[in-house]
Structure formats: C-alpha cells, structure tokens
Amino acid sequence: MTLCNREPLTYVEERNLLSIKEHTVANEWGPLAGLAGDWESDRGGLDTAYSHSLGKVLETPYQERCTFKPFGPVDNGDQHLYGLDYKTAMWRGDEDNPFHTEVGYWLWDGASGEALRAFVVPRGIAVLAGGFNTEDATEFTLRAAKDEPLYSIGENQYLAKNASSLRYEVTISVDDTSWSYQETTILRMNEFVEPFPHTDHNTLRRVG
C-alpha cells in the first residue's frame, strides 16, 4: 500500500504513536523535555534589582513570554547533545518594549547527565551555566561563576567595572502545565560595599 492510499490511523494507533514520541522526547531531552513549547506568565514574576535612576533597590512585577524549540542531536565526537532553542522577553506594566530579553540554548547530555543553559543578554553578558541531573528530574539547579573554568560568565568592559556578575544560579521546577524558576545573580556594584543579590522568580503556563 502506498503512503497516499494508507488507511487513516485508528484512535489506539494515534495514541500509541503519541506515547512513543513523548517517550523519545523524555529520554533524549532528559529533564528539559517538559520545557518544550510556548509559555506565558499569568500572575507575573518579581524582579528585585537596584534602580540607577532612583538610587535604591526596587521590587518590580513583570510579565514574561518565552519559547523553547527542540533540536538534536548535535554531535561532538562521541558526545550527543539534545537541546532547546529558546528566547524570552519580560515587560513591566504597560511597557511597549521589553526591559529584558535573552536568547540561547538549553542542552542535555544523556550519557553524563549534564544539563547546560547557554544564553546572551543584550547588555553585554554571556553565561554558560551547568549542573548534573537525572533524566527524569522535575527540579534541577544550574550554576555559573566569573572566571570558572567550566561554567563561566563573560561581560563587557563597562559592566566589569561597574556591575560585575560574580555568580549566577537558577533552580527550575517543571510539571505538566507550568514551570517556574528562582534565579539569583550576585553582583559586585559600585553602590554597595558587599556583593548585591539581584533576584528574579516567575511561574509560566503553557500556551502552545
């Protein structure tokens, strides 16, 4: 029977194919599998940061939209990575333009259990955060630090002098219909004697 004359799949066959596809994604993308899709925050997140214009620390609510598109494998010799191409944007109040955007990749190495988040922020910052997890983990933490040999932070000259990112940590929690993050960036800032913790947290719901 040729493809064009094939009988339509039964309900049971369709469900079996879907189950196989979901099983494959779960295995090959590990703990990142549940992030694939389109997401929006409903109640909004909270950004705790220093405001240069006001000269004080503010807690600012924000809305967020992000997308994760699966790809892979990407082969480095004997290493086989599966990943998510992602972008996210955040808005405060009725802003037309986002105050923060990111683009990058989340990567999973099933053989070693290594998860990576590589992203760029258009303020002149690039981060490669990583950690080790099980493929069925529903919560995991990734870390990076300036001048670390593996998981490191790069920044431009201005930021290095005035607001240098010393450490970065994010904890991700994923379920069937939502995911959330708790994110902390430790900054060395001219305005503070001690390192300052810039924090963000949000919960996003699946919209696609």
- Under CATH, which architecture does the 9-206 domain have? Beta Barrel (2.40)
Mention every residue, 6+ apart, whose C-beta is less than 8 A from residue 100. 47, 62, 89, 90, 121
CA dist 52 → 56, 93, 162, 166, 187 (Å): 7, 19, 11, 19, 14
Reading the chain (208 residues) residue by residue, the pLDDT tens digits are 444 444 554 544 444 444 334 444 557 999 999 999 999 997 889 999 999 899 999 999 999 999 999 999 999 999 999 999 999 999 998 888 999 999 999 999 999 999 999 999 999 999 999 999 999 999 999 999 999 999 999 999 999 999 999 999 999 999 989 999 999 999 999 999 999 999 999 999 999 8
Domain ranges of the chain: 9-206
Report the pLDDT value the prediction gives residue 27, as an integer from 0 to 100.
Answer: 79
Q: Specify the 3-state DSSP secondary structure of 11.
A: helix
Q: Which residues pair with 46 in a beta bridge?
A: 61, 201
Predicted structure pTM score? 0.85
Please report, as a single letter, which amino acid is at residue 197.
Answer: P
Name the 3-class secondary structure at 175. coil
Output the pLDDT for position 10.
Answer: 52
pLDDT at 8: 54
* pLDDT for position 202: 97
Query: 24 by DSSP, 3-state: which?
Result: helix
